[in-house]
Structures are given as structure tokens and as C-alpha cells.
Amino acid sequence: MCFVIQAFPCQSTTVLFRRAQNHCQNKPECLYRADDFVGINASDINYSAGRYDPTVKPPFDAGFEGIGEVVGLGLGASSDYTIGDTVAYFRNGAFAEYTIAPAKECIRVPLVKPEFLTLLVSGATAYIALKRLGDLTKGETVLVTAAAGGTGQFAVQFAKQAGCHVIGTCSTNEKAGFLKSIGCDRPINYKEENLGETLRKEYPKGIDVVYESIGGSILDVAVNCLAQKGRLIVIGFISGYQSASGIPAFKGATLPVKLLQKSPVTLWLSSSHSSFCNKKTQNISGPPTHLKVFETWCHYTSMLLALSSTLSPINI
């Protein structure tokens, strides 16, 4: 999921909102950015709730990605950047009007457009997970759950580029139409069709690769529909992000037997592939062309709404 928020200076509306800190101290290798846009992903739900690292106590900086103009430079960064350059970044603390980051961790982009944000977390997750873990082969069948979502959109297109037959799950006919427009061979609106029955009937040999981000009953269906030697890539469990632990209740008693009979399961963690991710994102030359934005919010005061919306049916 990737929501884009246009960030403008705002006034604090609650005492729980930490005021901006002065970051003008000398950091030679860093640059200073005025953030024009920040992205909100499903992972922000658990991070902002303090679940990723329980040892970190509020107040702490949240937000994973942003894009903006360089407004200040440390001496060590001045050889690579100039004031006014446009950069994107993937780093904790993006939910701010101004942020600091090592110049080497920033990505130069041609202009300030929110579409670039989708490449940092959503796009990179789909590309690297399918490239490194999916081992896609032309002619294979790939199932993408939440296929119209931020990372699902990319997974569908990457799988099609690899010559695969792509199935995508979604919750509305509007999203099903969008999936068709980006090359999805078989959109399935699970509100109108039974996902498990449809997969068993139309794909009796099973699914070769599953790109799964929902968890719960959808994960159960994904495991049951795997083909022999199929690959299940789990990148998230958004159905359980509202629970106290951020992880859904999981009935896994029969899972090992099913996987031993069929195939491996791989849990995706982006930090485990950070070097590969950085290498790929440094090649950004233009925004994605096949991308649909279903919801847009402006102003920092919209962040709570955007975060909560990632758990509702209006998310993409």
C-alpha cells in the first residue's frame, strides 16, 4: 500500500504531536530536505504503533519514504548535490516538514512528483521479492493478493514482463477493471467470487508463485492452491495489523505438512535486501507510467486518516 500525502507546514493540533526539532547542527556527510511528499505504506501501521521495535518508546520519528528539494548541505555532501536538487529517500523519520539523511542514501530524481515514491517501498518490494525469491519462469502461473494495492500493482506488471499468467485478487469491480488495464489475465473480485473455488476450478494444476500480503483466510487459500514445487512469498499480514501484536492469529498445525508435500514458503523482509534495493533504485529515471491513485490526501493532519485507511476497503 502506498498513499501519497502532500506535506505543507502545519500547526500542532494535539499535545501528543512533537514539535519540530532544530537540525541545523553540522553533519558533514548529510543533506537537508524540505519534504514535499511523503508516502504511507501498510508497514507504517505497525511502525507508528511501536510494534517493530518495542524497545523504542514515544516520541519517535515515523515514516519510511519521502521526496523533496535539497535546502541545505553538509560539506561532505556538497560535491554530489546542490541546493534545489530533487531527491527521494527511504529512511525512518519521513513524517516531517524537514528531514536529514546521509547524501549516499538519497536518490536523485528528475522532478518532484509523488509517483516516484511508489518505487521506493512498494515497487522495490515487488521487484526484489519476485526477482530473488520468485524465480519466475515464462509460462508459470502467478497469484498476487491485494493486486490493486501499492505493491500489488507492481507485482502484477513484473510478473507479466516475465511472461507469466497473472491472477490478481481485489475487492471491487473498479479495481478489477484497473487490473485488466495493467495486464492482469484473471482479476478475481473476492467479494463476488469464492477465491478458493475459483482457483481450484480454473487452475487445477495449482499456482506456481503466490505473492501474498493479506494473511488470514487468504493465506490459507494461497497455501492450499500451491502447485508442486510452487513458491509462496509472504510480504505481510495486513489482515492482522489491527490486533494488539500487529500479527494475525495463525492456525499453522497443518502448514508444515502441506508445504513439505508441495513447496517452500519465504517471508520477505526488505532490510535483508537493502544493498540490492539501493542499487536498483539508484537507476530511477522517470515515474511509473501504469499507476493508479484511488485516494489522495493533503496536509500533515491527514496522516492519521491515511494510516487508518490502509486497513479499510477504500485502500487500493
Q: Give domain status of residue 315, yes or no.
A: no
Split at pLDDT 50, 70, 90, the class of 4 is: very low
Q: Same domain, yes or no, for 258 and 141?
A: yes
Same domain, 144 and 68: no
Check whether residue 15 and residue 132 sit in a common domain: no
Q: Which residue has the higher pLDDT, 83 or 201?
A: 201
Q: In this structure, are 96 and 132 located in the same domain?
A: no
* Structural domain includes residue 316: no
- Shared-domain flag, residues 193 and 280: no
Position 111 scores a pLDDT of: 85
179 inside domain = yes
Taking 90 as the threshold, does the pLDDT of residue 189 lie above it? yes
The pTM for the full model equals 0.76
Whether residues 19 and 9 share a domain: the answer is yes
pLDDT tens figures, 167-183: 999 999 999 999 999 99
**In the chain, how many domains are there?**
2
- pLDDT at site 227: 92
Banded model confidence at residue 314, pLDDT cuts 50, 70, 90: low
Residue 216 has a pLDDT of 87
pLDDT at 279: 53
Same-domain pairing of 110 and 136: no
- Give the mean pLDDT of the chain: 77
- Which pLDDT score is estimated for 6? 41
- The answer to whether residues 139 and 264 belong to one domain is yes
The answer to the question of residue 314 being in a domain is no
Is 175 in the same domain as 265?
Answer: yes
Kindly report, residue by residue over 103-114, the tens digit of the pLDDT.
888 888 888 888
Residues 163 and 252 grouped into a single domain: yes
Q: What is the CATH number of the domain that holds 160?
A: 3.40.50.720
Same domain, 264 and 130: yes
Could you tell me the pLDDT band of residue 23, with boundaries at 50, 70 and 90?
low
Could you write out the three-class secondary structure of the chain? CCEEEECCCCCCCCCCCCCCCCCCCCCCCEEEEEEEEEEECCHHHHHHCCCCCCCCCCCCCCCCEEEEEEEEECCCCCCCCCCCCEEEEECCCCCCCEEEEEHHHEEECCCCCHHHHHHHHHHHHHHHHHHHHHCCCCCCEEEECCCCCHHHHHHHHHHHHCCCEEEEEECCHHHHHHHHHCCCCEEEECCCCCHHHHHHHHCCCCEEEEEECCCHHHHHHHHHCEEEEEEEEECCCHHHCCCCCCCCCCCCCCHHHHHHHHCCEEECCHHHHHHHHHHHHCCCCCCCCCCCCCCCEECHHHHHHHHHHCCCCCCC
Domain containing residue 303: 3-119+274-309
Whether the per-residue pLDDT at 246 is higher than 50: the answer is: yes
* Residue 262 and residue 281 share a domain: no
Residue 290 in any domain: the answer is yes
CATH of the domain at 34: 3.90.180.10
Per residue in 129-173, pLDDT tens? 999 889 999 999 999 999 998 899 999 999 999 999 999 999 999
Q: Determine, yes or no, domain membership for 289.
A: yes
